Amino acid sequence: MSEDIAYHEYDVLVIGAGGAGLRAAIEAAEGGLKTAVLGKSLLGKAHTVMAEGGVAAALGNVDPQDGWETHFYDTMRSGHFVSDYRMAEIHAKESPDRVLELEYWGAVFDRTPEGKIMQRPFGAHTFRRLAHVGDRTGKELIRTLEQKLMTLDVDVFQEITATKLFKDQDRVAGCIAYYRDDGRFAVFTAKAVVIATGGWGKAYKVTSNSWESTGDGAALAFRAGAELADMEMVQFHPTGMTWPPGARGILVTEGVRGEGGLLFNSEGERFMEKYDPARKELSSRDVVARGIYKEVKAGRGTPHGGAWLDITHKGAAFIKRKLPGMYEQLLSLADVDITKSHFEVAPTIHYTMGGLRVEAQTGATSVPGLFAAGECAAGLHGANRLGGNSLSDILVFGRRAGAGAMEYAKNAKMPKIDGAEVQAEMQRVLAPLARTEGENPYRLHEELQEIMANHVGIERNGPSLEAGLQKMQELRERTEHMQAKGSRQFNPGWHGVFDVQNMTLLSEAILRGAIARKESRGAQWRTDFPDEMEDQGRVNYVQRLTDHGIEVRPEPVPQMPEELAALFKRGVAPGLANSARKE
């Protein structure tokens, strides 16, 4: 093929330009390595920008009893004890430093009266822990990282899509990508590759995720031999918008409930009193989402299939000060003035807890030279993520994956990419444009979303999951034959082909994980196995792609050492226990 291909060589190549990717690139570049970042969108537009509530870090600025032990305790409990305790420990210990580092780089958090970084309460956090900037914390975080990155010698490739990872023997060797604006190819050879491409919420129709959340990196790494874990754990956020149709799924921040919002069913009953009498609306996300779902199923849903969320009792001035983004969002998109009236909310797909199986210290996957961090990696959040832990996750493990990749690259030689493989991949990528007939990627995406909604939503059961898997395998077969009309120039139909292929692969893994886990735990709720199995449930379902398809195997959760396990024996959060002792 007489293609004009750009060839690049880097020590560390980061795929994904969200918070985790940028943090990894900063680490590698500050270590003096030649580093590049690839992003599907413009710089600073990644899904990180949508995080609203805050970044969880046990700074103890407003609740001095808080400390890493309590943050660790909250994370493990909310993850229903299938999290990797080593990740949870590192995360709890390092998040405060990562937050302060952001402040040093120019982030401007809200302040306490003493002039420290302000922290707010959130569902299932024992203490007020979320450092924040109004309801736009994610934007502050990604902007700061973007601005820090600009001071370093890092090559940023914007609007470029990686389609395949190459290997040199066992180790990763780089990737091929195409520029979205004109369809040119670029081949990146790299000693180490960091995957930081986020989640795959777009496999579902009703989701708070942006279009980018198609799981590209996880799918690429999976095909390259890396292992996935906990794929069945997909978080429903309890409160997404339900109306108008175009806005369905858009997030209503947990902050509304944090600031006092109450949930009611169509009969005016405050139903969370039934499902979690102690914490009510501020229970963990899996419990609240299931509560709303059950009310709707029992016929007590609102006109568009949700629950009423009401914060009018807090008064207009308070709402506009604390939740300016939400006030504006509902007013402009749904014509609802939340200071005057209640509004409908329903669960929306929010986060994928599962993903690439990584080593806690370095973010290394099972493929040498390949690292992963952020939402595309598994381990920290287990069966249910705590609000605010994703922003701290990308900072802590973005940095660690960057450092891990740097150490690996320092001791590695530049790998070789096989030219024939490059040619073959280019042909595969261009094939949809050459086809005169074939499947429509937009249509297949809709079908995918329908299968996911019908077979592996909030409520799951064996026969339905099996039927879903059957359909998904048929769909995956059809995704090989998609057609894209038009040219290589900025062609969303063509781009969609690879998004759909990646999502169907990962969706099959979600179904297989959900089938394998024969219990209910956190986000996985099976009506045929409604109970959490104390012992046989404490495993991670690990998946590998072989020539015969996806293989699933259970791996026991790593055992906590004695001093960590002891934290859970008092039956009360460490911070509370310590302060009680002092009194």
Partner 1 sequence: MAQTAESLQPTKRKSHSLPYWVEPTFTVVALGLFGLYTLWLVFFQSSGQFHNYLSPFFSPTESWGIKVLPAIWVLWSPLLFRATCYYYRKEIYRGFFHDPVSCAVPESRKYYFGETRFPFNWANLHRWFWYVAVIVLVFLWIDAVQAFIFNGHFGIGLGSIIMLINVSLLTAYTFSCHAFRHLIGGGSQKFSCSDGRPTTRYKWWNRVSTWNENHGTYAWVSMFFVWFTDVYIRLLMNGVIHDVRFF
Partner 2 sequence: MPDEITLSVYRGDKSGGQEVEFKVPMQTGMVVLDALHFIQAHDAPDLAVRWNCKAAHCGSCSAEINGSPKLLCKTRVDDYVGEVIHVRPMHSFPVIKDLVTDVSWNYEKLRQVPAFQPAIKAPFTLQQRDVDRIQEFRNCIECFLCQNICHVLRDHDAKDRYWGPRLMIRIAELEMHPLDTGDRLELLKGAAGVGMCNITKCCTVVCPQGIDITDNGIIPLKERVADVYWDPLGGLVRKLHK
Residues that bind partner 1 (CB under 8 A): 113-115, 243, 302-304, 334-336, 341-344
Give the whole-angstrom CA distance, residue 395 versus residue 392.
Answer: 5
By CB under 8 A, the residues from 192 to 211 that bind partner 2 are 210-211
- Position among 490, 552, 554, 576 found at the interface with partner 2 (CB under 8 A): 490
User: Which partner from the list partner 2, partner 1, none does 32 bind, CB cut-off 5 to 8 Å by kind?
Assistant: none
Chosen residue from 106, 530, 556, 561 binding partner 2 by CB under 8 A: 106
| 257 has catalytic annotation | yes
Q: Does 431 participate in binding partner 2 (rule CB under 8 A)?
A: no
Does 42 participate in binding partner 2 (rule CB under 8 A)? yes
CB of 114 to partner 1, least distance (A): 7
Distance CA 197, CA 210 (A): 12
Q: Please pick, from the candidates 77, 120, 132, 148, the single residue that binds partner 2 as defined by CB under 8 A.
A: 148
Per CB under 8 A, contacts with partner 2 among 267-286 are none
From the list partner 1, partner 2, none, which binds 246 (C-beta under 5 to 8 Å, kind-based)? partner 2
- Asked if 566 is part of the footprint of partner 2 (rule: CB under 8 A), the reply reads no
Cα–Cα distance, 12 to 234 (Å, whole number): 30
Alpha carbons 22 and 41: distance in angstroms, whole number: 13
List the alpha helices (DSSP H) in 361-434. 389-410, 419-434
Q: Does 116 bind partner 2 (CB under 8 A)?
A: yes
Q: Which of 270, 279, 300, 334 binds partner 2 (CB under 8 A)?
A: 334
Over the window 173 to 192, marking each residue x when it contacts partner 2 by CB under 8 A and - when it does not, the resulting string is --------xx----------
Q: Does 46 bind partner 2 (CB under 8 A)?
A: yes
Please identify, using beta-carbon distances, which residue of 31 and 134 lies nearer to partner 2.
134
Nearest distance from C-beta of residue 325 to partner 1, angstroms: 18
Rg of the chain taking only CA atoms, in angstroms: 23
Residue 368 DSSP one-character state: T
Cα–Cα distance between 404 and 397 in angstroms, integer?
10
Q: How far apart are CA 284 and CA 254, in angstroms?
A: 10
Active site residue 290: no
Count the Cβ atoms, other than its own, within 10 Å of residue 172.
27
Nearer to partner 2, 208 or 464 (CB): 208
Per the CB < 8 A criterion, the answer to whether 78 and 69 are in contact is no
CA distance 329 to 240: 12
Q: Nearest approach, Cβ of 98 to partner 2 (angstroms)?
A: 11
Task: Give the single-character DSSP code of 341.
Answer: S
Helix axes 85-105, 389-410, angle to 10 degrees: 90
- Catalytic hit among 257, 385, 399, 521: 257
Alpha-carbon distance 229 to 216, whole Å? Answer: 16
529, 520 contact by CB (below 8 A): yes
- Would you say 441 and 493 are in contact if contact means Cβ atoms under 8 Å apart? yes
CB of 295 to partner 1, least distance (A): 17
Question: Which one, 5 or 247, has the nearer CB to partner 1?
Answer: 247
Smallest distance, partner 1 to C-beta of residue 62, A: 16
Using an 8 Å Cβ cutoff, are 310 and 252 in contact? no
What string marks each residue from 314 to 333 as x (binds partner 2 by CB under 8 A) or -?
Answer: ---------------x--xx
Instruction: Pick one of 20, 22, 37, 49: the residue that binds partner 2 (CB under 8 A).
Output: 49
Among 23, 143, 164, 290, binds partner 2 (CB under 8 A): 143
Residue 45 binds partner 2, judged by CB under 8 A: yes
Least Cβ distance, residue 244 to partner 2 (angstroms): 2
- Say if strands 370-372 and 185-195 run parallel, antiparallel, or are unpaired: parallel
Backbone φ and ψ of 76, nearest 5°? -65, -40
Using rule CB under 8 A, residue 243 touches partner 2: yes
Least CB distance to partner 2 at residue 307 (A): 20
Q: What is the SS3 string spanning 143-190?
A: HHHHHHHCCCCEEEECCEEEEEEEEECCEEEEEEEEECCCCCEEEEEE
Task: Give per-residue burial for 537-559: e unless 16+ CB within 10 Å, then b.
Answer: bbbbbbbbbeeeebebeeeebee
Catalytic residue (choose from 71, 128, 237, 357): 237
- Interface with partner 2 (CB under 8 A), residue from 1, 2, 169, 246: 246
Active site residues: 237, 257
Interface with partner 2 (CB under 8 A): 41-47, 49-50, 100-101, 103-106, 108, 110-111, 114-117, 133-134, 136, 138-140, 143, 147-148, 150-151, 158, 181-182, 210-212, 243-247, 250-251, 329, 332-335, 440-443, 484-487, 489-494, 496
